[in-house]
């Protein structure tokens, strides 16, 4: 995979500037930011267009960017190796298709490897890319609001995961008895 994937969206794109504004207004991750702060980010962030089936980011690579969907759809998942059949089977985790939904933020803030790959599931899927240097610069400009927002989301994900695991364990225990 290349360092920069997706085609940069140029002025002749069918997407209107308001499409990008709408995506940023709807992005939960950016809720704590003012409209002016959001416009600063939007002005600096690359806008990318992906074809159907094109990989946006790859599982196991370090997260140097996170993405906000403007239009189209993205599926998060991974390929499971099936050695005996010598093939790979796509395991879907989640599909994102609403303007403002984001992905990749957890590995960016944690500076860790990605848990999932992201693949465009519609032609002309448009995303806004926020890379680590831009994220760091803008986070400093807004007094750490971006990283605080991501940390809050990570904590809520951990709580939900813990609750889900406990319910699953209870279910298994009941089924065994």
| pLDDT value at residue 161 | 47
Q: What pLDDT shows up at residue 3?
A: 36
Lookup: tokens for 74: 């993205």
Residue 55, phi-psi category: left (phi > 0), alpha (psi -120 to 50), beta (remainder): beta
pLDDT value for 13: 60
Q: Which two tokens stand for residue 95?
A: 């599909």
Task: Say if CB 139 and CB 86 are below 8 A apart.
Answer: no
- Residues of the chain under the 70 pLDDT cut: 1-13, 80-89, 149-177
pLDDT at 67: 94
How would you write 46-63 as a 3-class SS string? CEEEECCCCEEECCCCEC
């Amino acid at each position: 995979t290349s360092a920069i994937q997706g085609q940069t969206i140029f002025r002749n794109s069918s997407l209107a500037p308001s499409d990008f504004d709408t995506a940023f207004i709807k992005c939960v991750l950016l809720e704590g930011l003012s409209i002016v702060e959001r416009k600063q980010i939007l002005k600096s962030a690359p806008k990318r267009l992906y074809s159907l089936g094109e990989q946006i980011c790859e599982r196991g690579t370090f997260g140097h960017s996170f993405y906000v969907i403007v239009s189209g759809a993205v599926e998060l998942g991974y390929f499971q190796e099936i050695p005996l059949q010598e093939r790979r089977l796509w395991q879907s985790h989640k599909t994102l298709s609403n303007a403002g939904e984001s992905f990749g933020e957890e590995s960016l803030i944690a500076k860790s490897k990605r848990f999932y790959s992201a693949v465009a599931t519609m032609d002309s899927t448009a995303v806004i890319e926020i890379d680590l240097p831009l994220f760091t610069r803008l986070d400093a400009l807004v007094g750490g609001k971006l990283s605080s927002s991501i940390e809050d989301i990570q904590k809520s994900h951990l709580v939900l995961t813990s609750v889900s695991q406990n319910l699953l364990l209870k279910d298994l225990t009941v089924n065994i008895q």
